[in-house]
Amino acid sequence: MPEFRTTPGFRDLLPPASTRQRAFVDVFAGLVERAGYDLVVPPMLEDIGVFERLGKATDVVTKEMYDFVDKGDRHVVMRPEQTASLCRAFVEHRPPTPWKVWYAGPNFRYDRPQRGRYRQFDQVDVEVLGTDDPEADVEVISLGWRLYEHLGLRQVTLAVNSLGAGDDKARHLEALTSFLSQHAGDLSTLSRDTLARNPLRVLDSKRPDDAEIVAAAPTIDQFWSDESARHFDAVLAGLRAIRIPFVVQPRLVRGLDYYVRTAFEYVGGTLESAQNALGGGGRYDGLVEALGGPPTPGVGFALGVDRTLLACDDEGVFPPPSRSVDVFVVDTTGGRHATVLADRLRASGWHVERSFDSRSMKSQMKSADRSGAEVAVIIGADEAASGTAVARPLRTDADQSTVELDVLEQHLDSILTTVAPVRDASR
């Protein structure tokens, strides 16, 4: 047993999982940047006050924060989520609106670790600040949906709801609290505890003991004001216009209590129900103000990277990207020629690998083959003496040829473009 291991809920992400995660973020970035969202990178450490504004009824804030006092006596927290950070950044920098941004990175929650639930986990997010146009809700929801489509996931359901705002939200909460209090004796112990802190979250309970009461509890749709109903109708009409399927789920609430009006969740069909939310989001029209900014509506989502990739595993889609090596330099003269040639060919934009430790020709050729390289460029004593190299195609029957080093690039260009357009287009 090694002396040190990762602490519970924390993981090392090694290849190929790490390269797959990066590929995932690349896909996401491509998708949202095409929709005009720009990257923001907020810090991972924030003043604890930023998250306390999310509401003391939120588990993430009361139970799960990694907070500590730093050496300068500041009470800080490793961010448990990113929307509040982003709103803090908005208030601090006051960018022009609508502010359409995306970000990706880790969050920290002292959660109970299990499959799909970790103490450090990655999310990708988009947020739009400064508009309450329902078309913005539709755009945000569509981006998450298109991502899942792009990944090849088929068993995802989009659940939508409107939590109301202002009066209707308050009246629903009152009716719900009164109903649940009357039936508190029939609720599970955990839900009784939730009822005392955040009655809305009882609707989220997936415990069988609670099913009957939750099914009978008053739902928000009975309380919507005309304004809330209009906004929600417009969102649903927008989703229909771009053919995104959804189910209206009047019991859908979100973990953080600052949501108003639109709330949505992407539910993975293959994951266990306690961890089946791949991502979710909604409107948080009061949050910027709660953090000291001007009244500014906002809508966004956070998608869990880890859970989405677990869903991809379950559905057998989005495998780790395979590395495409162009050239493997085999040097049997000690390795310096490989250093010089690899450096030169990499500068030309090819993916180039080589061996270390002066291994035998046979062993280096084996590595070249295993790397998947298209061509081996071989330098032995004769080639070193005559300023040449042997270029040996590894994936076709084409003959090898001895090439002057001066014209090696042209030669590689001709063989590599005949196998596949492998040379990096961005060079």
Based on the shown chain and the rule CB under 6 A, indicate whether residue 264 belongs to the binding site for ligand AMP.
no
Indicate if the alpha-carbon torsion angle 93, 94, 97, 98 is positive or negative.
Answer: positive
Based on the shown chain and the rule CB under 6 A, indicate whether residue 278 belongs to the binding site for ligand AMP.
yes
Q: How far is the CB of 55 from ligand AMP (least distance, A)?
A: 13
CA distances from 109 to 62, 78, 106, 307, 338 (A): 11, 8, 10, 15, 47
Q: How far is the CB of 189 from ligand AMP (least distance, A)?
A: 22
Residue 113 to residue 139: CA distance in whole angstroms: 33
Please check whether residue 102 is in contact with residue 39, taking contact to mean a CB–CB distance below 8 angstroms: yes
Site stretch for ligand AMP (CB under 6 A), options 11-19, 117-125, 146-154, 318-326: 117-125
- Interacting residues with ligand AMP between 348 and 407 (CB under 6 A): none
Name the one residue in this structure whose structure tokens are 């945000």.
140
Q: How far is the CB of 29 from ligand AMP (least distance, A)?
A: 18
Q: How far is the CB of 274 from ligand AMP (least distance, A)?
A: 11
Based on the shown chain and the rule CB under 6 A, indicate whether residue 127 belongs to the binding site for ligand AMP.
no
Count, in order, helices (H) and strands (E) of the chain.
15, 16
Based on the shown chain and the rule CB under 6 A, indicate whether residue 11 belongs to the binding site for ligand AMP.
no
Among 79, 109, 201, 283, binds ligand AMP (CB under 6 A): 109
Based on the shown chain and the rule CB under 6 A, indicate whether residue 102 belongs to the binding site for ligand AMP.
no
Q: Which lies closer to ligand AMP via its Cβ, residue 269 or residue 372?
A: 269
Based on the shown chain and the rule CB under 6 A, indicate whether residue 201 belongs to the binding site for ligand AMP.
no
Give SS3 for 85: helix
Q: How far is the CB of 282 from ligand AMP (least distance, A)?
A: 9
Closest CA to 139 of 35, 59, 278, 7: 35
CA distances from 159 to 117, 126, 205, 252 (A): 21, 18, 16, 8
Based on the shown chain and the rule CB under 6 A, indicate whether residue 251 belongs to the binding site for ligand AMP.
no
Among 88, 100, 307, 354, binds ligand AMP (CB under 6 A): 307
Phi-psi region of 292 (alpha: psi -120 to 50; beta: other; left: phi over 0): left
Among 280, 282, 297, 300, binds ligand AMP (CB under 6 A): 280
Based on the shown chain and the rule CB under 6 A, indicate whether residue 304 belongs to the binding site for ligand AMP.
yes
Site stretch for ligand AMP (CB under 6 A), options 171-179, 186-194, 304-312, 345-353: 304-312
Closest CA to 288 of 50, 11, 26: 50
Based on the shown chain and the rule CB under 6 A, indicate whether residue 125 belongs to the binding site for ligand AMP.
no
Residue 404 to residue 390: CA distance in whole angstroms: 9
Q: How far is the CB of 81 from ligand AMP (least distance, A)?
A: 5
Please check whether residue 244 is in contact with residue 145, taking contact to mean a CB–CB distance below 8 angstroms: yes
- The one-letter amino acid at 230: R
Based on the shown chain and the rule CB under 6 A, indicate whether residue 144 belongs to the binding site for ligand AMP.
no
Please check whether residue 64 is in contact with residue 109, taking contact to mean a CB–CB distance below 8 angstroms: yes
Residue 156 to residue 2: CA distance in whole angstroms: 40
Among 279, 282, 286, 298, binds ligand AMP (CB under 6 A): 279
Residue 207 to residue 366: CA distance in whole angstroms: 56
Based on the shown chain and the rule CB under 6 A, indicate whether residue 302 belongs to the binding site for ligand AMP.
yes
Residue 372 to residue 326: CA distance in whole angstroms: 8
Site stretch for ligand AMP (CB under 6 A), options 118-126, 200-208, 318-326, 407-415: 118-126
Where helices occur in 265-335 by DSSP H, the ranges are 287-290, 305-315
Q: Which lies closer to ligand AMP via its Cβ, residue 99 or residue 258?
A: 258
Based on the shown chain and the rule CB under 6 A, indicate whether residue 153 belongs to the binding site for ligand AMP.
no
Please check whether residue 115 is in contact with residue 84, taking contact to mean a CB–CB distance below 8 angstroms: no
Among 59, 111, 204, 413, binds ligand AMP (CB under 6 A): 111
Among 306, 353, 374, 383, binds ligand AMP (CB under 6 A): 306
Nearest residue to ligand AMP by CB is: 304
Q: Which lies closer to ligand AMP via its Cβ, residue 140 or residue 278?
A: 278
Q: How far is the CB of 156 from ligand AMP (least distance, A)?
A: 12
Name the β-bridge partners of 105.
123
CA geometry: angle at 144 spanning 319 and 236, to 5°? 145
Residue 302 to residue 296: CA distance in whole angstroms: 19
Residue 175 to residue 285: CA distance in whole angstroms: 23
Q: How far is the CB of 9 from ligand AMP (least distance, A)?
A: 8
Q: Which residues bind ligand AMP (CB under 6 A)?
A: 81, 109, 111, 116-118, 121, 123, 255, 277-280, 302, 304, 306-307
